[in-house]
Amino acid sequence: MKTTEIREPYRMEEFLRPQWFQKVAQMVHFQWRRSPVDNSMVNASMLPFCLSALLNVLFFSCNGWDIIGHLWLGRPANQNPPVFSITIYFSIRGLMLFLKRREIVEFVNDLDRECPRDLVSQLDMQMDETYRNFWQRYRFIRIYAHFGGPMFCVVPLALFLLTHEGKDTPVAQHEQLLGGWLPFGVRKKPKYYLLVWFIDLMCTTCGVSFFITFDNLFNVMQGHLVMHLGHLARKFSAIDPRQSLTNENQFFADLRLLVQRQQFLNGLCRKYNDIFKVAFLVSNFVGAGSLCFYLFMLSETSDAVIIAQYILPTLVLVGFTFEICLRGTQLEEASEGLESSLRSQEWYLGSQRYRKFYLLWTQYCQRTQKLGAFGLIRVNMVHFTEIMQLAYRLFTFLKSH
């Protein structure tokens, strides 16, 4: 759809669409299909994960051998620290997607079951706004993936074709896409350059696909949870405590359904956090290290081409880290909105039974749902500040040494 106006009810698949380059490269890690048995959503193929695993084993085996040879044997290394660190960052997210693939499919089906099927219910739940936010973001990612990504990959190729001095001159690191080591010294031999560049291109495509798949799942899940929590908060605001005086049995029957839904949504928030918490703990700090290396690279060069190549990954790291922390803050605020809606009631006009229940309910609502990892970090805007401070400290350490 090219517009955010609702023409027919949305389906969950519309929120999970891959980018075009993922389809071309066969890197759609979750190929969502409807099961003919129960209409549930399943991942139709594991082939992209297998291909990605092969590329990651190749990349990290070769680079690990290069690092070991440098540390133990004193051989000169051909590592590109900014690229190597961000590759680790992407691969951690890809590993999380693989290890948590069953939980992800189960969670998507939970959201699919909760997604209203008719137009009126979707409008009442404000799914049109949720889809509008998704579509705007999807288009931004499409621009980044299909313009920024090719630019990053083509710059080293252009440097090699335009500036390389001769067939007997080894390929310099700035002419390589990823750097590192390959058997038989092929990475340094000009006649194998296009083969090496193609291998690097496939590894880069794999990493970016991991990143975009992780990013889309994280944001779609968060958007739906915020939508459901906001809808429930409006239900809380619509409660009239005075009805507990006139039709107490029906009032508490309706109230029981709201509390059960709140408990269900809280359970979904916990499952959501369990899926991503390891990635939060590891990749955010690896991202800080990657950002440090990119800043160091940019500060140490005056070459406009190198700056143009590395400025985009730097901005992407900052921007996407900011957004993840912002999404965590939004989920907290949506969860806190339940308590705010409850406190705005004229609870003192209700029956004695309701007033007693209200006190217990308020205490339960104070248990705000948060994104975090094992109690060590909390994913919100404060955490974003901590990551940026860590990256700056690492950067100043490198500069001073």
- Whole-model pTM: value is 0.89
The residue with greater pLDDT, 83 or 140, is: 140
What phi, psi does 138 have (nearest 5°)?
Answer: -60, -40
Tokens of 103: 């939980």
Tokens of 90: 């992407």
| pLDDT grade for 5, boundaries at 50, 70 and 90 | low
Percent of the chain exceeding pLDDT 90 equals: 50
The residue with greater pLDDT, 166 or 161, is: 161
The residue with greater pLDDT, 316 or 356, is: 356
Query: Measured between alpha carbons, how far is residue 205 from residues 4, 11, 87, 152, 307 in Å?
Result: 29, 28, 11, 11, 21
Residues 288, 390: contact at Cβ < 8 Å? Answer: yes
Average pLDDT, the chain: 89
Beta-bridge mates of residue 134? none
Which has the minimum average pLDDT: 139-143, 361-365, 392-396? Answer: 392-396
Which candidate, 161, 185, 192, places its Cα nearest to that of 175?
161
Residues 358, 350: contact at Cβ < 8 Å? Answer: yes
Which has the minimum average pLDDT: 224-238, 269-283, 311-325? Answer: 311-325
- Looking at the chain, the number of H-run helices and the number of E-run strands are 14, 4
Which has the minimum average pLDDT: 2-11, 256-265, 320-329? Answer: 2-11
Q: What is the pLDDT of residues 73-108, one digit of tens each?
A: 777 777 877 788 888 888 989 999 999 999 999 999
Which candidate, 267, 254, 251, places its Cα nearest to that of 114?
267
Q: What is the pLDDT of residues 170-219, one digit of tens each?
A: 888 888 988 888 888 888 899 999 999 999 999 999 999 999 999 999 99
- Confidence check: pLDDT of 66 > 90: no
| Per-residue pLDDT, 301 | 77
